Amino acid sequence: DAGVTQSPTHLIKTRGQQVTLRCSPKSGHDTVSWYQQALGQEPQFIFQYYEEEERQRGNFPDRFSGHQFPNYSSELNVNALLLGDSALYLCASSRRPAGTDTQYFGPGTRLTVL
């Protein structure tokens, strides 16, 4: 049973560019959450998708957007990249309805903005 997978593993972009990160949830999971983890910091919640809709959002600007596909996979898009967007982007999947929705994380995509 494959766990959560993310692609690409690493990515280098320049300021002002746009980036798309991809996530495939664990088998049987229908909910995908995205987190940003700056170097040496804890993960910060960006947003969560369920039934192809954004259900919750953290304190991130509109430059961060996402999408969920009918097969439950998800994309995170970041426009107009800033140096401060350099971070590890983590995808987590879970299953609804579930009382406490334990989340399973992928290995992350390391984004470097130059």
Partner 1 sequence: DAKTTQPNSMESNEEEPVHLPCNHSTISGTDYIHWYRQLPSQGPEYVIHGLTSNVNNRMASLAIAEDRKSSTLILHRATLRDAAVYYCILRANAGGTSYGKLTFGQGTILTVHP
Question: Rule CB under 8 A: which residues touch partner 1?
Answer: 4, 31, 33, 35, 42-45, 48, 50, 55-56, 58, 90, 92, 94, 96-108
- Indicate the residue among 80 and 106 with the shorter CB distance to partner 1: 106
Find how far residue 1's CA is from the centre of its chain.
Answer: 21
- Indicate the residue among 18 and 56 with the shorter CB distance to partner 1: 56
**Angle at the Cα of 80 from the Cα atoms of 60 and 37, rounded to 5 degrees:** 45
**Angle at the Cα of 48 from the Cα atoms of 55 and 5, rounded to 5 degrees:** 150
Q: How far is the CB of 49 from partner 1 (least distance, A)?
A: 10
Q: How far is the CB of 67 from partner 1 (least distance, A)?
A: 17
Q: How far is the CB of 26 from partner 1 (least distance, A)?
A: 11
The H-or-E segment that residue 85 falls in is none
Locate 21 and state its tokens: 């990160």
